[in-house]
Structure 1
Amino acid sequence: MPRTVVAGPADARGPDNHLSAVFSDDAARDAHMVRFLRPAFERGERMEYFTEATPPETVLRVLEDHGLDATGARERGQLSVVAARDAYLSDGPFDPDRMVEQWHRSVREAERAGFDGLRAVGEMSWYGRGVPGSERLLEYELRIHREVFERLPSLAAMCLYDRRLMTDADVALLDGVHPEHRRIGKERLPPPTLRVVPLEGRAGVALGGEVNHSVRHVVTGVAAALACSETPGTRGTSGEGVVELDLSELEHIDLDGTVRLVSAATREPGRRLVVVDPPPCLLRLLDIFPELNAALEVVSR
Structure 2
Amino acid sequence: MDPSVVDRIRPGDHVCWTFDDEHQRLAAVTGYVQAGADANQKIIYLSDASPDLLLRELTDNGVDAWRLVRTGQLQMGHPRDDYLTNGLFDPMVVLDDWQREIAVARGGGYTALRMIGDMSWARAGVVGADPLHWYEAQVNRVFADGYAMALCLYDRRLFDQVSLLRVSAAHPSRMEPGTDWNWRPLLRMERTGEPPGLRLIGEADASNRDALAATLADVIDDMSRPDATVTLDVAGLRFADAGAARLLMGAATTAPPEVRITGCSVSLVKLMRLLGGDPCAGAVA
Query: TM-score range, shorter-chain basis?
Result: 0.5 to 0.7
Match of 1:40 in 2: 36
CA distance 1:240–1:136, shift in 2 (3 Å) = farther
1:62 partner letter: E
Map of 1:174-189 to 2, 5 A cutoff? 174-185=167-178
Deviations for 1:223-269, whole angstroms, at most 9, x for unmatched residues?
A: x95896330674436247899xx99456xxxxxxxxxx9xxx9xx97
Match of 1:213 in 2: none
Deviations for 1:3-31, whole angstroms, at most 9, x for unmatched residues?
A: xx855354265366211211111111100
Map of 1:248-263 to 2, 5 A cutoff? 248-249=241-242
1:119, 1:156 within 8 Å by CA — same for their partners in 2?
yes
2:119, 2:152 within 8 Å by CA — same for their partners in 1?
yes
2:42 partner letter: R
- CA drift of 1:64 comes to 0.2
2:102 partner letter: V
Match of 2:77 in 1: 82
CA distance 1:242–1:109, shift in 2 (3 Å) = closer
1:232, 1:240 within 8 Å by CA — same for their partners in 2?
no
Match of 1:137 in 2: 132
CA distance 1:240–1:102, shift in 2 (3 Å) = same
- CA drift of 1:129 comes to 2.5
- Structure 1 CA distance, aligned partners of 2:179 and 2:230? 42
- CA drift of 1:141 comes to 1.8
- CA drift of 1:138 comes to 1.6
- Structure 1 CA distance, aligned partners of 2:122 and 2:9? 27
Match of 1:108 in 2: 103
- CA drift of 1:148 comes to 0.9
Is 1:8 paired with 2:9?
no
Is 1:164 paired with 2:157?
yes
Map of 1:208-247 to 2, 5 A cutoff? 208=206, 225=214, 229-231=218-220, 234-236=223-225, 238-239=227-228
- Structure 2 CA distance, aligned partners of 1:208 and 1:10? 23
1:104 partner letter: Q
Deviations for 1:34-74, whole angstroms, at most 9, x for unmatched residues?
A: 0111112212222111103x332221111101121111221
- CA drift of 1:118 comes to 1.6
- Structure 2 CA distance, aligned partners of 1:102 and 1:142? 16
- Structure 1 CA distance, aligned partners of 2:89 and 2:13? 22
Q: What is the DSSP-based 3-state SS (H/G/I as helix, E as strand, rest coil) of the residue aligned with 2:76?
A: strand
Match of 1:57 in 2: 52
- CA drift of 1:161 comes to 0.6
1:131 partner letter: V
Aligned pair partner of 1:149 in 140, 143, 152 = 143
- CA drift of 1:143 comes to 2.1
Is 1:123 paired with 2:118?
yes
2:29 partner letter: M
- Structure 2 CA distance, aligned partners of 1:298 and 1:148? 30
2:226, 2:257 within 8 Å by CA — same for their partners in 1?
no
Percent of aligned positions with the same letter in both sequences? 27
2:119, 2:153 within 8 Å by CA — same for their partners in 1?
yes
Using structure 2 for the length normalisation, give the TM-score: 0.66
Q: What is the DSSP-based 3-state SS (H/G/I as helix, E as strand, rest coil) of the residue aligned with 1:101?
A: helix
Deviations for 1:114-146, whole angstroms, at most 9, x for unmatched residues?
A: 33322110011222434343222222222222x
1:7, 1:184 within 8 Å by CA — same for their partners in 2?
no
Q: What is the DSSP-based 3-state SS (H/G/I as helix, E as strand, rest coil) of the residue aligned with 1:39?
A: helix
2:106, 2:112 within 8 Å by CA — same for their partners in 1?
yes
1:24, 1:164 within 8 Å by CA — same for their partners in 2?
yes
